[in-house]
Amino acid sequence: MSLRPNLNTLTEEIQNYLEAEHFVVFRCLTRAGDEPPIIYWDTERNPEFKPFLDCALQLGIRLIHLHVRDFSSMHREEALEQLSESELDPKRQRDIKRRIEELSIYEGLTCAVEMSFDF
């Protein structure tokens, strides 16, 4: 099991690029669910962060909202709670519980990076 790509390294690369290009970085909570006009980084279709940030530069935008979330025991506890409330058969629940508990090796690692800007 591995986190792909290594989000700790990616976060460092993003922060270095933001600094080198003189962006103003606002470290924020997730903006998912906020009202438009927010431009989000579409990592599914365009996984490279530089074109996203270059777009902001071309539009004259310097303020980037950055949210970095680390994986914690809270995430596992929430998953275990949801599992216990599920209607899965006991054998399936045990298998999933074991897999959730194995995720403890990822605690402290970055599990989500969100970038956005207003336009």
Domain positions in the chain are 7-118
Amino acid identity of residue 20, one-letter, is A
Specify the DSSP element, H or E, that contains 16.
helix 7-20
CA angle 55, 58, 61 (to 5 degrees): 85
pTM for this prediction: 0.75
pLDDT grade, residue 77 (50/70/90)? very high
Torsion sign across C-alpha atoms 106, 64, 43, 119: positive
pLDDT grade, residue 5 (50/70/90)? low
Share of the chain above pLDDT 90, in %: 76
Q: Is the pLDDT of residue 4 over 80?
A: no
